Amino acid sequence: MAGELNVEVVAADRKVWSGVATLVVAKTTEGEIGIMAGHEPVLGLLATGVVTVRTTDGETVRAAVDRGFLSVSENHVAVLAEVAQLADEIDTASVESELAAAGDDQAAGRWAQARLQVAGAK
Amino acid sequence: MGAQLRELRRRIRSTESMKKITKAQELIAASRIIKAQQRADAAKPYSQALVRALEAAAARSNLDHHLLEGTGTPVRSAMLVVTSDRGFAGAYSAGVIRQAEALTGLLHEQGQEVRPYVVGKKGVNWYRFRNREMYGEYVDFSGNPSYTDARRIADDLLEAINTPADEGGVDEIHVVSTHFKNMVSQEVRARRLFPIVVEDVPEPVHHVEAGAPAGADDASAAGGPTPTSPAEDETLPLYEFEPSAEEVLDALLPQYAGNLVYTTLLDAAASEWAARRRAMKSATDNAGEMQETLTRESNQARQAEITQEISEIVGGANALAAAGSE
């Protein structure tokens, strides 16, 4: 089925990315979820991690999200997160120092790791 | 040059430089209003999607969340007061503080204790000068708030409301801030943020865009889809929740609180710059007027000096002539 999804990745203070895609892969608190056209409506909480969007042009867009959720309805996918960053917005060096400084702070560590993962997969 | 004339000229020069400063401030403020409005527009897609998700989750869970429904008689309230960090903005902060005082009085009448959380140096100083206790002070961002600032405030407020009242928590959260209606008119508003009435959920968020002609649409100019904004009577799709409607709601409400505080701060920031622009404009106008008056006075003084000199010369010549003819 060559359906299309309208995808928006939105952070609290800006729209990070929007476009047309064939597949969205995200990680909810329950596990990985893959969404293609015609998916049933879902509202899921996202774990801090990576959201991957395969666009109709065959490109792959990756974004690191923190404290977010995912809403799917009628082939419209909205990824909302308090913070979201695309691969080319991430400054690897500063994130690495953040990761080192995070120490026992698990939330900060996970967020740093998610961003490194996004930047590394570029 | 006479002393009076010299003094007047000096005052004209200083008025001139004051006028230049206020004019510059006015221009800066005007550009900052636009910036603040753009940021409010950028925050809109998130607010809208969040409200939709919240509606969906609230419709499916059993709604006994303490942020949605009050707990009988409230005994204590948190009050977020949004003022500015800097002056030169006319009655901006004073208006907010006056409204906050009115709200405090009202809540006291209802037998509630009020805990102020204050944004902006002007408000903080006002409370400190009167030796009133503040439960939160947030300064150094009022003209240009970031989401992190809003998150910090929202976390403090949520912590207070999540604590039971008999353990020192609060039952209600109120906010007093300035709403940006348009360039010339801003309005101080006191609202209750929590507990929210579910049916009214869209209201407090949509107030930011009231009057703005569908500005969110231009954001999708890059060939992207325009998010279908829910029509009034549209029924929500039957969502599948992960992990469950209750847990989604639990996670969404704090995000919603953060978003509410953020939009409130942006709204207040735009208002602050608008108030500052207006104050600076009238200061510039007043300086211009003063300059005119002073120029007139100095012309008069110069003329008086010349007249006096002429009469002295004539008087002297007459005296000499009288002395020579004797």
Model pLDDT for residues B64-81, shown as the tens digit of each residue: 677 776 667 788 889 999
Q: Which amino acid is at B172?
A: E
Subunit contact B45:A41, Cβ cutoff 8 A? no
CB distance B227–A76 less than 8 Å? yes
Collapse the DSSP code of B78 into the 3-class scheme (helix H, G, I; strand E, B; otherwise coil) and give the result. Answer: strand
For B147, the 3-state DSSP assignment is helix
Give the single-character DSSP code of B217.
G
pLDDT of residue B217: 38
DSSP character at residue B237: P
- A–B: how many Cβ contacts below 8 A? 103
Q: What are phi and psi of A90, to 5 degrees?
A: -95, 130
Q: Cβ contacts (< 8 Å) between B57 and chain A: which residues?
A: 43
Question: Of B73, B66, B75, B64, nearest to B165 (Cα)?
Answer: B75
Nearest chain B residue (CA) to A28: B242
CA B11 from centroid of its chain's CA atoms = 34
Domain boundaries, chain A: 5-86, 88-120
Is residue B12 predicted with pLDDT exceeding 90? yes
Burial of B184: CB neighbours in 10 Å, binned 0-12, 13-18, 19+:
exposed
Question: B224 and A73: CB-CB below 8 Å?
Answer: no
Domain with CATH 3.40.1380.10 in chain B: 27-212+237-279
**Does the distance separating the beta carbons of B241 and A44 come in below 8 Å?**
yes
- What value, to the nearest 5°, has the Cα angle with vertex A90 and ends A85 and A95? 110
Rounded to 5 degrees, what are φ and ψ at A75?
60, 20
The answer to whether residues B260 and B200 touch, using CB atoms and an 8 Å cutoff, is no
Question: What band does B94 get if pLDDT is binned at 50, 70 and 90?
Answer: very high
Question: Tens digits of per-residue pLDDT, A13-54?
Answer: 888 888 899 999 998 888 888 998 888 888 888 888 889 999
| β-sheet with B172-180: strand ranges across | B136-138, B113-119, B76-82, B172-180, B186-194
Q: Which of residues 191-220 of B touch A (CB under 8 A)?
A: 219-220
Q: Measured between CB atoms, does B221 come within 8 Å of chain A?
A: no
Q: Answer with the residue of higher pLDDT: B180 or B198.
A: B180
Task: Domain B27-212+237-279: give its CATH superfamily.
Answer: ATP synthase, F1 complex, gamma subunit (3.40.1380.10)
Instruction: Please tell me which residue, B9 or B59, carries the higher pLDDT value.
Output: B9
- Provide the residue count of chain A: 122
Q: Which of A80, A83, A85, A86 to mutate to test the interface with B (most CBs of B within 10 A)?
A: A80
**pTM listed for this prediction:** 0.81
We find that the CATH architecture of domain A5-86 is Sandwich (2.60)
Cβ of residue B45 closer than 8 Å to a chain A Cβ: yes
> Given this model, what pLDDT does residue A122 score?
53
pLDDT given at position B229: 42
In Å, how far are A48, A54, B64, B137, B268 from B263, measured between CA atoms?
Answer: 24, 32, 26, 19, 8
Whole-angstrom Cα distance, residue B318 to residue A60? 103
CA distance A53 to A34: 10
Q: Residues B102, B106, B107, CA angle at the centre, nearest 5°?
A: 120
Q: What's chain B's average pLDDT? A: 82
Q: Which range has the top average pLDDT, B17-21, B133-137, B198-202?
A: B17-21
Residue B228 DSSP symbol: -
Using DSSP, state whether B206 is helix, strand or coil.
helix
Number of helical H runs and strand E runs in chain A: 2, 7
Phi, psi of B209 (to 5 degrees): -95, 0
Say which DSSP state A87 is in: G
Q: What ipTM does the predicted assembly reach? A: 0.83
Subunit contact A43:B53, Cβ cutoff 8 A: yes
Domain with CATH 1.10.287 in chain B: 3-21+281-313
Secondary-structure percent of chain B, ordered helix, strand, coil, rounded to 5: 60, 10, 30
- As a whole number, mean pLDDT of residues A85-105 equals 80
Q: Which of A11-20, A112-121, B41-50, B259-268 has the lowest mean pLDDT?
A: A112-121
The whole-number pLDDT of residue B123 equals 92
CB contact under 8 A, A13 and B251: no
Please give, rounded to a whole number of angstroms, the shortest distance from the CA of B251 to a CA of chain A: 8
- B83 — phi, psi (to 5°)? -115, -170
Asked: is B3-21+281-313 a CATH 1.10.287 domain? The reply is yes
The more confident residue out of B223 and B289 is B289
The reported pLDDT for the residue numbered B236 is: 65
